[in-house]
Amino acid sequence: MMRAAGRLARDPGRTEDGQTLLLGVGMISVVAVLVLVVASATAVYLDLKTLTSLADSAAAAAATGVDEASYFGGVEVDGVPGTLSDAGVRAAALDDMEAQPERLEALSLIQADTPDGVTAVVTLTARSRPPFLPWGVIPAGGFTISATGSARVSTAP
């Protein structure tokens, strides 16, 4: 074995043939797959942030939609004048969702109610379909994401 290595070193006409092209193509493939996975994860994250923003907006709209009769009628809950109703919270949340320009796939209102009369809680769900995933391997329906927003009625002196 040592003799063969010595002969190779002494014979300048013989060189090793490497497969650097194969190594380069493999490395480029691995980097491309990593970039696509990160881009897909970012797409799901951005959809979740959009859904969270929509849920917060719907809850805030519901909290500001206090029934005027209960607000001016002297009804107080925990020292806050005015109370929310489940029907009022749901109606305000649906109106706010319709007014929003951002549209997610299969956006739906799951919950819109008030547990204590002064807090509006809104839960939304939607589908997120990242653009770079192999939909033959992963279910083509995408991922279901959900977000909950809450807002509390407050009055300033």
Tokens matching residue 41: 């994860």
| pTM summary value | 0.73
Domain boundaries of the chain, sorted by first residue: 21-152
Q: Looking at this protein, which amino acid is placed at residue 10? A: R
> Cβ contacts of residue 61 below 8 Å, gap of 6+?
92, 93, 95, 96
Q: What is the pLDDT of residues 53-106, one digit of tens each?
A: 999 999 999 888 766 655 555 555 555 556 788 888 899 999 988 888 877 888
Tokens matching residue 1: 């074995």
Tokens matching residue 139: 């279910």
Give yes or no for a contact between 58 and 149, defined as CB atoms under 8 angstroms apart. Answer: yes
